Chains A and B, each alone.
Chain A
Amino acid sequence: MAELTDASVPKFAAGCRWGGTTDAPVVLFPEGAIRLGGTGRIILELCDGHFSLAEIVQRLEEQFILAPKGNIRAEVQVFLEQLHAKRIIDY
């Protein structure tokens, strides 16, 4: 499995995209869909091919000032690695 580093730029894999409605967005992929609210949605909205992992983590840290710093990095990493294994996110 490809290694996710600070410099990696996560983005949707080919053929995976947002769908549903603005109020209830879903991530669509070949054989399924994930309904995402809260943090998951915020993270994936940053996975548009413009931000590196370090930049995504930095933005989240700014947004969630109260969260312990190392935790955000670790949680984002696990989340993106899971989606990578499902071939939804590339980096």
Chain B
Amino acid sequence: MTKCSNPLALIAEITHRCPLHCVYCSNPLELTSRKEELATADWLRVFREAAALGVLHLHLTGGEPLARPDLVEMIAGARQSRLYTNLITSGIGLSRERLAQLVEAGLDHIQLSFQDSTEGHANWIAGARAHAHKLELAAWIREHQTHDHRLAFTVNLVVHRQNIDHLEEMVTALEALHPDRMEIAHAQYYGWALQNRSALLPTRAQLDRAVAVVAAAEERLRGKVRIDMVVPDYHARFPKACMGGWGRQLLLIDPAGRALPCHAAGVIPGMRFDNVREHTLDWIWQNSEAFQKFRGEDWMPEPCRSCDRRKEDFGGCRCQAFLLTGDAGATDPVCELAPLHHLIEEAVREDAVTGLTPEIHEAPFHILREKMGGFWSYRTDPK
């Protein structure tokens, strides 16, 4: 058994239900239904156990966490357990009153997603009329910041081929909302995003322009807005340090209570995920077979095993390795040293260069949706 340090963050996917249907969603294609969801008391116990295990941050996500009517209670419970609480949300389902209740319960940080700079296009990507409400919500968040100096505010922008050329406009539009932080995250190709990859993967030239836009924004906004960029790993030379290493810093609990080392780990065949309904978090972290599987370096094939970078990127992403090569134990094909790196080179060539781009970019939502419905698959909602 590989010795492990304590986890630092818990990602709680409290529901898979979501009013948005974003085409870049990395949720699994098989979503957990409402009737399988953990009860409030189970979550509160998980939060207590997480804090006792040394976890500092709780990231409440989904689906849309606001779909849970007990969210205020969960945040109060998490704060009671001394966790730092982060709500990752589309904002849909958050009224001014409910936001005040969440802040009162102790919410520390809200991360609000945006899909594009203009309403029609943003809604087309989200598959829902959501953009206008997000703008309204941002103003209410700002009120909590200026009036009672509470609540850190991050705006999150998932970037891909269909919006990357509007990045400068998006940064300007979001800057006007006065966030503390801007997360510019390139789509990660899991779940629905992988299904839609041929429409989402940017070209190298698009990426280079986007990197320059972000660098200029960082310079201009220094001390005002912190910008964090998640680079698209398909265009990188080396893989990302996925989850900070398997079973090393983070754990994720899915809506049904299954403990996963990574949100996409469910795709790997033959994995057994223990459930918080049956085990304590401490037991799971130490003993669960799923967390042992790729923890440490014993599982690594060459070239990872003898590579100096293995302590930085931990061999990359196991789920991506499986999704692209069929073997979860292979070197992440993103790595230029990986034997199967050609899979990425081919994807970038085929998807990005000759892939589709719709001709209309700005039109009312119903027209976009009607004309371009077959262009990609919108994420569905669980039964």
Contacts and interface: CB of A to CB of B under 8 A. Distances in A.
B150 A30 contact: no
B82 A14 contact: no
B109 A15 contact: yes
A65 interface: no
Contact of A30 (B8, B82, B109, B223): B109
Interface in A27-52: 28-31, 33
Contact of A14 (B111, B145, B226): B145
Contact of A15 (B56, B152, B226): B152
A87 B226 contact: yes
Contacts of A30: 86, 108-109, 111, 152, 154, 180-181
A17 interface: yes
Interface string B103-140: 00000110100000000000000000000000000000
**Contact-residue size bin, chain B (C-beta under 8 Å from the other chain):** 20 to 34
Given A19-B84, A33-B57, A14 B222 contact: no
Interface residues of A, number: 19
B180 A14 contact: yes
B378 interface: no
Given A26-B56, A30-B152, A19 B82 contact: yes
A15 B228 contact: no
B149 interface: yes
A19 B56 contact: yes
B152 A13 contact: yes
Contacts, number: 59
Given A19-B56, A85-B226, A14 B150 contact: yes
A33 B8 contact: yes
Nearest to A81: B223
B222 A15 contact: no
B24 interface: no
A2 interface: yes
B222 A85 contact: yes
A28 B57 contact: yes
A86 interface: yes
Interface in A1-32: 1-2, 13-17, 19-20, 26, 28-31
B108 A28 contact: yes
B151 interface: yes
Most buried by B among A2, A15, A16, A26: A15
B273 to A, nearest CB: 26
B285 interface: no
Interface string B139-181: 0000011000111111000000000000000000000000011
Contacts of A1: 222-224
A1 B228 CA distance: 17
Contacts of B84: 17, 19, 28, 33
A20 B56 contact: yes
Contacts of A33: 8, 56-57, 84
A14 B152 CA distance: 5
A47 to B, nearest CB: 13
B8 A15 contact: no
A59 to B, nearest CB: 23
Nearest to A91: B223
B57 A15 contact: no
What are the 10 A-B residue pairs with the smallest beta carbon separation, nearest first? A15-B152, A1-B223, A28-B84, A87-B226, A30-B109, A87-B180, A14-B145, A30-B152, A15-B109, A33-B56
Given A17-B84, A85-B223, A87-B225, 17 more contacts: A1-B223, A1-B224, A2-B223, A14-B144, A14-B152, A14-B153, A15-B108, A15-B151, A16-B152, A19-B82, A19-B84, A30-B152, A30-B154, A31-B181, A33-B56, A33-B84, A87-B226
30 contacts: A14-B144, A14-B151, A15-B109, A15-B150, A15-B151, A15-B153, A15-B180, A17-B84, A17-B108, A19-B82, A20-B56, A28-B56, A28-B84, A29-B152, A30-B109, A30-B152, A30-B154, A30-B181, A31-B57, A31-B228, A33-B8, A33-B57, A33-B84, A84-B223, A85-B222, A85-B223, A87-B152, A87-B181, A87-B225, A87-B226
